[in-house]
Amino acid sequence: MAWTSFVYNYAVGGVIFIVGMLYAWRQGEVGLATKRMRRNTFGMLGGLLVIFGLQLSFMLLGSSS
Amino acid sequence: MNDSIIVGTPLDYGLIIGYFVVVLGFGALFARFTKSTKDFFFGGQRFSWWLIAFSCVATTVGSYSFYKYSSKAFTYGLSSSMTYLNDWFWIPLWAFGWLPIIYFMRITSIPEYFEKRFDRSSRSVATIILLVYMVGYIGINLLTLGKCLNVLLGWPVFGAAALVAAVTGVYVMAGGQTSVIMTDLLQGMLLLVAGFVLLFLGFSALGDEKGLLAGASNFWHLLPPGHRLPFAAFNRPADFNSVGIFWQDAFGNGVAFYFLNQGLVMRFLSARSVREGRKAMFFILLVLMPLAAVAVSNAGWIGKALAAVGLIQVPADLDDIFVVVADALCRPGVFGLVLAALTAALMSTADTLINAVSAVAVNDIYRPYIKPGRSDKHYLSVSRWVSIGTAAVGLMLVPVFGQFGSIYVAHGTFTAAVTPPMAVALLLGVFWNRFTPRAALWTMLGGSLAVGLSFIWPQLITPFAHGTPMFAHGDIAQPSYKAYTYIRALYALAVSAAIGIGVTFFTRPRERDEIKGLTWNTIKDAMLIFKGSAPNLTEGHEVSARPVFVEQAQAGEIDLVQVDPAAMVRMAAKSGDLVHVRDGRRWLGGLKSAHARLGEPDAEPGTCRIPQELAASGSLLKSKRLLIEKII
């Protein structure tokens, strides 16, 4: 059941995140064209990956022990 | 627990009293930086990201957090951290949509945004909802700490609440937002430190003199397997399921907190630039919130392991597990530190709300309706007295909220019901140009009505419930208002969104010119309005310069500063660009600084010509080098 929670959290939350990134892209705030856009893009995606990685690690650690 | 009072030692009392003295001293110290209503409410828009970040965490963690999360952590394990790690999804919309709008449009309050984006009726409804929410929140926080000090030290609930209200009200009155930020920096660090002290003491106790690592390993193996997972079960039990908490916390409370909470909005408006605000939020969500999750929950996790080896007795009321664990692990003095952290958690939440209520009361009621056109000094004086009055009203609500069986359920039910309609109105307003004023009004009124009906007929929520049980204790008959505590947020969001979208298609939107700078795709217009000319978005570098104070400003403009041509190139700046000039000592975090406009570049190499009046307003010193950064 905890895996269902994990998937649901990132599936629904992911939609909000993607919508936000699309808005930011249309404003020219994220993308790969300039240094500022790359910094914003990698910052946003990197942050998401850190939180995702942290929770995934505990899911795997907790499930295996 | 109330009949088994744990009384601290004189050292613990001394620490608490010393703590109050330090906080009041901070208030008095930073009062001299408050010279206008802009300073009082927004700290002069001058602070660095790290000051904003730490003070925001102190605001986020309320006094009840240690109690509530420790209890859930003891019962359900690591999944108690869910609510602190589910806000990242909102960051693109917040950082690239909402923050630049409120910053560049100089929105002083959330109701003001509602009037500018929609109309005066929407502003009135938003003002009422926000004031009810914030004053009630202050009362709940005061009651929580009153109860906590009653259990720990034996002080009367109302007396303890009155003492904290008085201290908080006085330093907010004296120093406004600057005092709030500075004291919250101290308090944010204190509560994180106290939380981690408990964790290390717990590992030490479980290590059986073999060290912290052995203790951590024992801790992990003593946790029941289900407690090692960071997510709760999907839709069971009713009082702690991940789907309900996801909608209630990540959606309802998340939007309410980061987009609607007047206190938080004011905190980010005190940043020296939008970029600093974004950095602060990044650091909060990525670093400080995970740390705060551990700080507030670990007494419960450690308590579970300690109970498994018989080192503590499990209390009958699990809300008391924090106190039991702290009492078992702490020596005199350390216990005082933990008490100070609890007090810090309360004061740092209440001070933000007091300052925020004052902002709404003065900017949304007093200034436009009661005494328009008075001097800023007059409004500053009124703001100070409103701060004291707000603390007093919050205190008066303590006995009212004391009637509820559980503070947190009362508060959670209250906020879940109040905030979603307003959250939907705001999000649609920011991210959908077509969204109409009439639709905004009906989203708030109709959404609130629908929520009210769900308290009478909770069956309305069932289609949204994802299979979560209606009540916490199965089939036992319970009052209908206790049904679907968390998942009500999804119902409220869905109904409010349906009303908002539906009404929009039958009513007339405002012209694009009327909402310039107020929606996500008109942010360039907001920058233009903020600066008064085309924004310069070319990235440059910060420059350091020696200050040269001048009596007469160039062209008689007191906010005009001049640097040498090389500095202009390094900043990628042109005459007329907005800059932030601050004392070069970075640890001040922008406390001594001012916003200015660049004049023609004819200063001596390595110097910055700055009008005396501007330097005085920013508390800048002739003997200290300046750091100058182009804003736009």
Contact B246 A8 (CB under 8 A): yes
Instruction: Specify the DSSP class assigned to residue B400.
Output: H
Three-class secondary structure assignment of B376-387: HHHHHHHHHHHH
Could you give phi then psi for residue B578, rounded to 5 degrees? -85, 135
Please give the distance of CA B166 from its chain centroid, rounded to a whole number.
Answer: 21
Q: Which residue has the tokens 């109970």?
A: B307
Q: Which residue has the tokens 């350390």?
A: B334
CB B375 within 8 A of CB B229: no
In a domain, A9, yes or no: no
* Chain A residues touching chain B at CB-CB below 8 Å: 1-2, 4-6, 8-9, 12-14, 16-17, 19-21, 23-24, 26-27, 29-30, 35-36, 40, 43-44, 47-48, 50-51, 54-55, 58-59, 61-63, 65
The CA-based dihedral angle spanning residues B354, B355, B359, B360, taken in that order and rounded to the nearest 10 degrees: -30
Please give the distance of CA B433 from its chain centroid, rounded to a whole number.
Answer: 28
Q: Which residues of A touch B216 (CB under 8 A)?
A: none
pLDDT surpasses 70 at B590: yes
Contact B233 A23 (CB under 8 A): no
How many structural domains does chain A have?
1
In a domain, A56, yes or no: yes
Please, which pLDDT band fits residue B543 given cuts at 50, 70 and 90?
Answer: very high
pLDDT at B191: 79
Q: Which residues of A touch B225 (CB under 8 A)?
A: 62, 65
At B308, list the tokens. 């498994």
Helix residue spans in B224-363 (DSSP H): 242-245, 254-255, 262-269, 274-283, 289-308, 321-329, 334-360
Q: Model ipTM?
A: 0.96
Of B94, B97, B234, the CB nearest to A8: B234
In a domain, A49, yes or no: yes
pLDDT surpasses 80 at A24: yes
Cβ-count burial of B7 within 10 angstroms (0-12 exposed, 13-18 middle, 19+ buried)?
exposed
Contact B234 A21 (CB under 8 A): no
Query: Pick from B64, B17, B36: which is nearest to B350 by CA?
Result: B64
Supply the Cα-derived Rg of chain B in whole angstroms: 25
Comparing alpha-carbon positions, the chain A residue that sits nearest to B94 is: A20
Helix residue spans in B551-628 (DSSP H): 565-571, 612-617
In a domain, A35, yes or no: yes
- Mean pLDDT along residues A27-54: 93
Contact A61 B228 (CB under 8 A): yes
Q: How far is Cα B78 from Cα B31, in angstroms, rounded to an integer?
A: 42
Share of chain B above pLDDT 70, in %: 90
Comparing alpha-carbon positions, the chain A residue that sits nearest to B241 is: A5
In a domain, A45, yes or no: yes
pLDDT at A51: 93
In a domain, A31, yes or no: yes
Containing structural domain, residue A55: 18-64
Q: Hey, what domains does chain B have and what are their CATH numbers?
A: 10-28+44-402 (1.20.1730.10), 536-630 (2.40.40.20)
Q: Which residue has the tokens 């960071």?
A: B230
Q: What is the pLDDT of residues B374-390, one digit of tens each?
A: 888 888 888 888 888 88
* Chain B residues touching chain A at CB-CB below 8 Å: 78-79, 85-86, 88-97, 220, 225-226, 228-234, 236, 242-243, 246, 250, 282, 285-286, 290, 431, 520-521, 523, 539
pLDDT surpasses 70 at B65: yes
Contact A47 B96 (CB under 8 A): no
Helix residue spans in B457-544 (DSSP H): 488-504, 523-531
Comparing alpha-carbon positions, the chain A residue that sits nearest to B231 is: A2
Count CB neighbours of B618 within 10 A.
24
Residue B564: helix, strand or coil by DSSP? coil
pLDDT surpasses 90 at B74: yes
CB A37 within 8 A of CB B204: no
pLDDT at B473: 67
Least confident of B334-348, B498-512, B516-530: B334-348
Question: Which residues lie below 8 Å from residue B13, measured CB to CB, with a gap of 6+?
Answer: B153, B336
CB B380 within 8 A of CB B36: yes
Distances (CA, A) of B123 to A26, B99, B366: 30, 19, 14
In a domain, A27, yes or no: yes
CB B248 within 8 A of CB B416: yes
Question: What single letter denotes the amino acid at residue A65?
Answer: S
Question: Which residues lie below 8 Å from residue A30, measured CB to CB, with a gap of 6+?
Answer: A21, A24, A37, A40, A41, A44, B92, B96
Phi-psi region of B154 (alpha: psi -120 to 50; beta: other; left: phi over 0): left
In a domain, A1, yes or no: no
At A50, list the tokens. 């850190």
Three-class secondary structure assignment of B603-616: CCCCEEEEEHHHHH
Q: Which residue has the tokens 């003070």?
A: B55
Q: Which residues of B touch A59 (CB under 8 A)?
A: 229-231
Q: What is the largest CA-CA distance in chain A?
A: 46
Please, which pLDDT band fits residue B2 given cuts at 50, 70 and 90?
Answer: very low
- Mean pLDDT along residues B333-346: 76
